[in-house]
Structure 1
Amino acid sequence: MSTSRTYRDAVDHLNSLQSNAATLEAVRASGGRLSQFAIPEMVEYLGRIGYSAMHITGTKGKGSTSAFTDSIIRRAHPEWKVGLYTSPHLVAVRERIRINGAPISEELFTKYFFEVWDRLKQNTKTANPSTPLMPGYFRFITLFAFHTFLELNVDATVLEVGVGGRYDSTNIVPKPVVTGVTALGLDHTAILGKTLKEIAWQKAGIFKEAVPALTVEQPEEGLQVLREQALELKASEFIVVPQIPGLLELKLGLAGRHQYQNATLAVHLAKNFITARTSENISEELPPSFVEGLKFTKWPGRCQTVEDPAHRGTTWFLDGAHTLESLHCCVQWFVSPDAALRDHQEFENRSRVLIFNCTSGRSGTSFLGAMMSSAAELLGTYGKDESAAALFDHVIFCANVTYADGGFKGDLTTLAIPESDLAHLKTQHELADAWSSLLPSFPKENIHVLPSIEHAVNVVRRLGESQKPIDVLVAGSLHLVGGLIEVAGLSGVAL
């Protein structure tokens, strides 16, 4: 490999594979049908770099379940080398590919990236005429992750599916050790107009013959589809994982009530995986190593509290929640004794700021309305007379652009925002209008529409100059949270 090829070069090459806003709109307009080509094309890409899908998958599910599973397995078997593949990243793309909990180094990222890139560039023979010579951004990183784990000879791999399941680029493992499905909801696929049954069918696509299929309690119509698909795809067993005695008494490494369900699934996935790999008989409901794994799980940007290292009195509450369900969980966490209500006496003496963005301002009314409704209910539950309008002193709606000069940090570059939207801050103005309509008494001068994350941080810094301590909730987008960690100088304490 040429010494002139750097990590910066690798990230720039990777960003060149991103879909732009127009392409993403075409996928949405197709009802997701374009995604059906992902699997045969991924198998072809794997073949062209010289590998087939030979790895171990520990789980499919949301990032927190993957993180719990990874943490448990690493503590149960500290002698193992454990790979974790997740998406998206917060600050550095290297976060998506972890070995024993740590993102791979810039040196390894660069080395393995160009090994895959060069093989695809050199081997241009395609089996399917419609297959593009280079895969898109997520497909490339998936290939790159497989290659990395194979080269590093990992003992276990925990794979998080990107979107959906059946047609997801990660679904090329012929026989994982165990598969798992977290809570079903109208999440990202809701934009495609899918029903719960259709979502369940997509998720169940990761089930494989002679492989256990695990899930949590689900709505009956979704559960029925999962059960039918497990039978059709000849899974060795289909299990709705039971509650684990003592788990609810643990203080998990990840905050939020919803994490107990994820932790329950993770424990069962880890037990299945370890038993299959070692023939160990794990008779305890919660072995000490499992407890340790659950307590020390880290997953940045999800219900995370960060004390600002450089600005005393400023506390950041970071949650990349971006669906109705996840935003409800976010508010449950923030309006609780674990976060904004951690000191009842100080509640009235602290300023609170919301920094928010989402992919479409049209969703703003429903997203923000649900958040404020939950907040009002929780404030009453905890004996607070304040209305939801009084929860925040300032609200900031900003674009996901990293810096005030309009530039992105390289790893955070996105082509998915339409240029016209960005130029006029269309989404952010729609969110501000939604906020005003939901809370007419909220002072107009305290609603900020800003072109970058750096602008938002500057507003917080000015507010923090007063004598009052300040709590800042950042939500609606993982890209927003990642950019804020970068701009606010939180990487050393948050990641």
Structure 2
Amino acid sequence: MYRQTMLLIFRKSIARLSLHSRVTFSTRQIHKMAMIDYPYEEAVKTLNQLQGTQMMPLAKKYEGYGLIAMRNFLARVKITDDDLGGMNIVHVAGTKGKGSTCAFVESILRHHGVKTGFFSSPHLIEVRERFRVAGKPISRELFTSYFWQVYKLLELDKDIYDVEFPSYFYFLTVLGFYIFKHEKVDAAIFEVGIGGTYDCTNVVTNPTVCGVSSLGIDHTNLLGDTIASIAWHKAGIFKSGVSAFTVLQPLNGLEVLQEVAKKKQACLNIAQDFTTYTAKQNVNLGLSGEYQKVNASLAIELANCWLLKQLGVSLFSGEKLDKNTVDGLANCEWNGRAQVIKFDSMTFYLDGAHTMRSVKCATEWFQKESDAEAAKLSKPCTKTLVFNVTKKRDAYSFLSTLYQCNFSKAIFVPNIATLLPTHLNDQNNLQCPVESRLAQVLQNKDEWNALCKDNNDLMVAEQSYVFACIADAIVWMSKGRDDKLQQVAQLLCLENSWPNHPCGSDHLQVLITGSLHLVGGCLRVLKPNLND
């Protein structure tokens, strides 16, 4: 009955959204106004049309044809191998921590006076976050300008190519190379999308240095279901004569990395434990979580190799890290990963963990940070989980790990910030129907309730809720706790009726995890001006 009621409410919301969309956006006059007032949004709408397009059969990509198409795309937008070489690229693959590693590398190099470009995925709030120059997402104006330049160049002669136009991620990767070329960056840090060997970022033939962060099981339908198979794909970014670094890995994974490195005549080194770099000094990390020390160690080696090759300087000063490196590590920012946002009577802990290993790390981080906060406060704390995963993930296993945090409530929502019509289209997912996403959310709730019953915890099972969008959930949680946050979130809500709940005097600690897209949707509500 509950499932049917939620689906009915959700269908009503979608129907109202569709009606509003027809009224607001169907006329030519409004379309012209959008072109004038929202050029960035028009670019994003056009980009989103590439979601789900099949550039070529998946099997072809994993036979190397995707990289052939990628080279053609680059040639069509006037990017040569010399241009790629001139970007002095740091190329990083891995299952867990590759984005954080890239963020540390970018920050270290920037604090050494290097003009950096940083290409990452996915974005959290706005697609322009994927392209950072000098540590900041490029402006909406710059994104719009570069987007249409690349789009028109690719449209110009598409009919003469077997693969006429790139798919969504391929287009973004081409755009990244194009932006960094024209912004004249000194160093470009590229995070691999999926795998490495056949990833479209692997069009780079002569990077300055390569890195592989921690290996784990993920994307098994593409990379295989063993650490050895996944390691082979990650090692595909190694290049002859180019230094490569990794961290301590499972033995079978490390053996594959070493074997591929030897075959490709790449020099593979293992980063040392973080304490080795900091034995003679106190070094703070801008990213919290014990596991970030592993990523920081890899970043130190990658940045040091880059500085030695390009500038002839080391980031080591005797047995210590130099001041620029210490500052770079301390001032590194990487939203959505072990991030804490405080409000009146509420603290949000956000981590986009979406593999079994990263969920375990997020659980340990949340327990440590929430316990430390509770010890400082003069009032009791209660914990709420906000969770979502896609159907490709093992929700029960994830929730089993998170269960040990002793949540008093659990909230399940799709990765949708708001159901209201909006000019901000960056988070739109055109590949998955909205009702399918809610059905998955209901399945996640069922898994949680089954877990609670398996642990004879019926009271917690009764305190689990489903909301149609993130804004609704945040309004409900913030009621009676933070009026300002509630008012901001309520502007993004269609409905005004939510389950009743007592507004106690306790401090609410909210863990948001399971998906980077979920975290991005929450950040859009909690910190809407994050990129400004």
Give TM-score, length-normalised by structure 2: 0.81
Inter-partner Cα distance in structure 1 for 2:48 and 2:441 = 25
**3-state SS of 1:164 partner:** coil
CA contact (8 A) 1:401 1:407 kept: no
Residue equivalent to 2:22: none
Alignment of 1:27-46 (within 5 A): 36-46=64-74
Q: Note the residue ranges of structure 1 that are not aligned, 5 or more in a row.
A: 376-387
Residue of structure 2 in register with 1:175 after alignment: 206
Indicate the residue corresponding to 1:122 in structure 2: 156
2:32 matches 1:19: no
Q: 1:139 to 1:191 in 2, by over 3 A?
A: closer
1:51 equivalent in structure 2: 79
Equivalent in 357, 375, 387 of residue 325 of structure 1: 357
Aligned-partner Cα distance in 2 for 1:204–1:197: 10
Is 1:354 paired with 2:361? no
Deviation at 1:480, TM superposition (A): 0.9
Selected match of 2:339 from 304, 309, 325: 304
Deviation at 1:370, TM superposition (A): 2.3
Q: Which amino acid aligns with 2:258?
A: R
Report the Cα offset of residue 56 of structure 1: 2.0
CA contact (8 A) 1:75 1:293 kept: yes
Moved more, 253-262 or 362-371: 362-371
Quick one: distance in 1 between partners of 2:364 and 2:70?
39
Indicate conservation of the 8 Å contact 1:305/1:339, yes or no. Answer: no
Residues 7-406 of structure 1 aligned to structure 2 (within 5 Å) = 7-19=40-52, 36-53=64-81, 54=84, 55-61=87-93, 62-76=98-112, 78=113, 80-127=114-161, 129=162, 131=163, 133-189=164-220, 193-235=224-266, 237-244=267-274, 245-247=276-278, 249-284=282-317, 285-308=320-343, 312-336=344-368, 338-344=369-375, 346=377, 349-360=380-391, 363-372=394-403, 375=404, 388=405, 391-405=406-420
TM-score normalised to the size of structure 1? 0.87
Question: What is the CA deviation profile of residues 409-451 of structure 1, one whole-angstrom value per residue up to 9, with x for unaligned ones?
Answer: 41100123245513xx221121111111211224344111122
Aligned AA (1:65): T
* CA deviation profile, 1:251-308 (whole Å, cap 9, x unmatched): 2100111100100000000000010001225543411111111111000010011113
SS in 1 for 2:394: helix
Distance (whole Å) between structure 1 residues aligned to residue 366 and residue 264 of structure 2: 41
Task: Judge conservation of contact 1:247–1:260 (CA < 8 Å) in 2.
Answer: no
Please say if residues 11 and 410 of structure 1, whose CA atoms lie closer than 8 Å, have aligned partners that are also in contact: yes
Residue type of the alignment partner of 2:106 = D
The 5 Å alignment of 1:415-430 reads 415-422=430-437, 425-430=438-443
User: Is the aligned partner of 1:477 residue 2:504?
Assistant: no
- CA separation in 2, counterparts of 1:97 and 1:486? 18
DSSP-derived class of the 1:174 partner: coil
Structure 1 residues 347, 224: closer, same or farther in 2, change over 3 A? farther
Matched with 2:25 is none
Verify the 8 A CA contact 1:361 1:430 in the aligned structure 2: no
Structure 2 stretches of 5 or more lacking a match?
Answer: 1-34, 482-502
Offset of 1:52 from its aligned partner?
2.3
Q: CA deviation at 1:493?
A: 6.2
Structure 2 residue 425 is the aligned partner of structure 1 residue 410:
yes
Q: What is the CA–CA distance in structure 1 between the aligned matches of 2:148 and 2:212, rounded to whole Å?
A: 33
CA-to-aligned-CA distance 1:436-483 (integer Å, 9 cap, x gap): 121122434411112211221122122635422211111011111111
Letter in structure 2 aligned against 1:290: T
Partner of 2:363, secondary structure, is helix
Q: Compute the RMSD of aligned alpha carbons.
A: 2.4
- Name the amino acid aligned to 1:455: D
Check conservation: 1:355, 1:472, Cα contact below 8 A: yes
Q: Is the 8 A contact 1:357 1:400 kept in 2?
A: yes
Between 326-335 and 429-438, the greater mean CA deviation after superposition: 429-438
Percent identity between the two aligned chains: 35
Q: Deviation string for 1:107-162 (max 9, x for gaps)?
A: 110111100000001122545x2x2x221111101101111110111111111111
Q: Distance in 1 between matches of 2:470 and 2:50?
A: 24
Contact 1:356–1:398 (CA<8 Å) still a contact in 2? yes
CA contact (8 A) 2:244 2:268 kept: yes
* SS class of match (2:201): coil
CA contact (8 A) 1:404 1:453 kept: no
1:451 and 2:483 correspond: no
Contact 1:357 1:398 in 2 (8 A): yes
Whole-angstrom CA distance in 2 between matches of 1:430 and 1:193 = 26
Q: Distance in 1 between matches of 2:63 and 2:129?
A: 25
CA positional deviation for 1:101? 0.6
1:324-379 superposed Cα distances (whole Å, 9 cap, x missing partner): 1111110110000x33442337597122211100011861111111222xx3xxxx
Is the 1:181–1:216 contact (alpha carbons within 8 Å) kept by the matching residues of 2?
yes
**In terms of mean alpha carbon deviation, does 400-409 or 47-56 score higher?**
400-409
Relative to structure 1, the CA distance from residue 143 to residue 102 in structure 2 (aligned partners, 3 Å threshold; closer, same or farther) is same
1:47 partner letter: A
